[in-house]
């Protein structure tokens, strides 16, 4: 029986056969991805910078009439993604401390809350799910990490499942979405996949995945979304590398 990731795995295998990109090419692709990823991930959480403004802020330019908070969020997200890349390069294990460190970079504008589990109850606007009480968070995060390290499921499916459970716990007072998407990408990249960029324009589909009242449907929806984004990214890389312009074998396009 197939999985949501059959096509992505075939595309990844094809990509693995191709010649590697040069350091300069990789840096250019990374920089372009960081801009779009930072814009989309922050926009989902209410940041009002446009993609062009995000690019300018990451170059050190201040945007008039835009909040300092939005500037800091762009810089913090960029730095957090670069940190995630280093974790992948160094093959650093994913732990609670790793996640706390990512959060600390994300929440650059809130030094008193950086890397700390929340100590008050929170509600997610518009969501039917109510996150657990703060006293439950440390144990739930410990259990989540134990399940992750003992998981035998497909690595991309595990990344999707971890993301859903992380957001259900909502361990931090703020920055859970951005941190969670970075951890999702950390898991994908450690498994040899490219990072994905959930688009602001696709946010309704993304929100719909967190219908915890119907766990099986939500899990399948998140897996399908991650698989779709991975397929698009892999096809994009193959279009760059394949001598035939990226046209794939028939069995990969069925």
Listed in sequence order, the residues at least 6 apart from 77 whose beta carbon sits closer than 8 Å to its beta carbon are 37, 38, 41, 42, 106, 178, 182
Q: How far apart are CA 4 and CA 201, in angstroms?
A: 22
Q: How far apart are CA 85 and CA 32, in angstroms?
A: 15
Q: How far apart are CA 75 and CA 42, in angstroms?
A: 11
Q: From the candidates 103, 154, 163, 170, give the one annotated as an active-site residue.
A: 170
Distances (CA, A) of 242 to 15, 32, 60, 135: 9, 20, 36, 52
Asked about 170 being catalytic, the answer comes back as yes
DSSP reduced 3-state for 98 = helix
Q: How far apart are CA 203 and CA 149, in angstroms?
A: 29
Joined tokens for residue 239? 């279009």
Give which of 94, 117, 113, 106 is closest to 184, Cα–Cα: 94
Residue 206 · residue 246 · CB < 8 Å: no
CB atoms near residue 1 (< 10 Å): 3
DSSP reduced 3-state for 60 = coil
Q: How far apart are CA 43 and CA 1, in angstroms?
A: 38
Give which of 245, 205, 203 is closest to 223, Cα–Cα: 205
| Positions marked active-site | 170
């Amino acid at each position: 029986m197939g999985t949501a990731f059959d096509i992505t795995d075939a595309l990844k295998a094809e990509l693995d056969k191709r010649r590697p990109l040069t350091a300069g090419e990789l840096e250019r692709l990374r920089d372009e991805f960081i801009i779009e990823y930072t814009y989309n991930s922050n926009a989902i959480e209410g940041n009002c910078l446009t993609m062009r403004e995000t690019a300018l802020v990451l170059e050190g330019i201040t945007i008039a009439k835009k909040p300092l908070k939005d500037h800091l969020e762009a810089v913090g997200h960029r730095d957090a993604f670069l940190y995630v890349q280093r974790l992948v390069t160094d093959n650093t294990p994913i732990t609670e401390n790793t996640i706390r460190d990512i959060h600390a970079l994300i929440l650059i504008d809130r030094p008193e809350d950086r890397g700390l589990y929340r100590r008050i109850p929170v509600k997610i606007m518009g969501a039917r799910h109510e996150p657990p009480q703060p006293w439950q968070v440390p144990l739930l995060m410990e259990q989540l990490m134990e399940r992750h390290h003992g998981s035998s499921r497909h690595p991309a499916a595990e990344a999707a499942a971890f993301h859903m459970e992380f957001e259900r716990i909502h361990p931090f007072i703020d920055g859970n979405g951005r941190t969670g998407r970075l951890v999702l990408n950390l898991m994908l990249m450690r498994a040899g996949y490219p990072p994905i960029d959930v688009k602001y324009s696709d946010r309704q589909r993304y929100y719909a995945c967190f219908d915890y009242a119907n766990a099986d449907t939500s899990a399948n929806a998140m897996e399908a979304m991650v698989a779709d984004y991975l397929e698009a990214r892999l096809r994009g890389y193959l279009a760059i590398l394949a001598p035939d312009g990226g046209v794939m074998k028939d069995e990969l396009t069925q």
